[in-house]
Amino acid sequence: MSDIQIQNLVKRFGEQEILHAISLDISKGEIISLLGPSGCGKTTTLRCIAGLETPTAGAIRIGDRVVFSEAVNLPPESRGAGMVFQSYALWPHMSVYRNISYGLELRKVPSDGIRRRVYESLELVGLEGLGGRYPSELSGGQQQRVALARSLVGEPQVLLLDEPLSNLDAQLRERMRLELRTLLKRIGITAVYVTHDQQEALALADRIVLMRDGFIEQVGDPRDLYDRPRTIFAANFLGLANVFPATVQENKERFIVRVDDSDGITLQLAVSTNGAVAGMKVNVVVRPEHIQIAEDDADGVNHVRGEVRRAVFQGGHSDYFIGSGSLEWRVRSYRVHGVGPRVTLVVPQDKIICVMDG
């Protein structure tokens, strides 16, 4: 059952169309990440769901209610959605307790009900005992939790989050995204999370909606998008990738491509691609961590000779840039290799992706 349903959503600002008739169904209790570069339409989509932007056309349903259509446009406070903003938007002159309780006060919830729900929200986000503090007395992570508690205290049907971790340092951001997923799953709320950070999307989401220029590029669970990107944009945006233009040589008993401008390098793929015929131009995609570096000259299927040109130390591993003719392969390895020596790259057949877009 869909908890949020978006149908043919269009948004224009003047003559510029920001969203191009996008459609999406989000199941109850699902965490969806809207992922993409700046200007792709992800925040506009979120604001349309929240009622902070009025779509040009289309329809939005939350639960069993239409919140936007040609005939309906419910205000934000009537949509049953909680919102967590990038800036947290906490009132500096109010205590943590008042920041959380203020919305309930405006709705004239009885004082004993307000007190109970505020304390429950503080406990939910791990801020018990901090209700008397002011935002300036809190860390960035604690402020983010207050913003989250304020959104949850109204018991919304869905939760909308607009890059809520982007103001935190890298270490705290990593910890908070794991805690946030655990919390959202524990309370079972449907959540839409906007981010441009691929690591956040991979760690948080049940499904990722990858957006580009106002269109939905690809939808799938994180592993599906990472392992099986359908376009070059998807391959490059979600993770690191070696992407090479190639020409199909054979797609019958075996699926073999010749990498263009590579002095005759051919690669054999484990899975054929429907519609790919001999002579067709395609692209091959290989993730850096899927390539092995061998220090011998053994021949074999998908063995590529090259020279280590550069090494970049990344802590637990190093990224090596290995030249083979006019090509440069990026390879992730946990072993130490020197710069300069000739090596052999072993590219597993089942880790090569064939992408047919340009």
What CATH number should be reported for the domain holding residue 318?
2.40.50.140
User: Pick from 205, 236, 267: which residue ends a domain?
Assistant: 236
Packing angle of the helix pair 96-106, 111-124 (nearest 10 deg): 130
Could you tell me if 187 and 54 lie in one domain? yes
The reply to whether 154 and 281 lie within a common domain is no
Q: Is residue 241 part of a domain?
A: no
- Per-residue model confidence (pLDDT) at position 358: 56
Q: Are 58 and 86 in contact (CB under 8 A)?
A: no
**DSSP string covering 209-222, please?**
EEEETTEEEEEE-H
Phi, psi of 124 (to 5 degrees): -60, -40
Top mean-pLDDT range of 19-33, 105-119, 140-154: 19-33
198 and 258 part of one domain = no
155: phi > 0 → left, psi -120 to 50 → alpha, else beta; which? left
| Separation between Cα atoms, residue 68 and residue 8, nearest integer Å | 12
Q: How far apart are CA 32 and CA 20, in angstroms?
A: 20
Average pLDDT estimate for 18-36: 97
Which structural domain range is residue 190 located in? 2-236
Classify strands 81-84 and 158-162 as parallel, antiparallel or unpaired.
Answer: parallel
Structural domain ending residue among the three candidates 217, 236, 255 = 236
Question: Which two three-digit tokens encode residue 314?
Answer: 């990344």
Residue 201 main-chain phi, psi, to 5 deg? -60, -45
What is residue 81's predicted lDDT score, i.e. its pLDDT?
Answer: 94
In a domain, 327, yes or no: yes
pLDDT tens, 127-180? 888 999 999 999 888 898 899 899 999 889 999 999 988 878 888 888 888 888
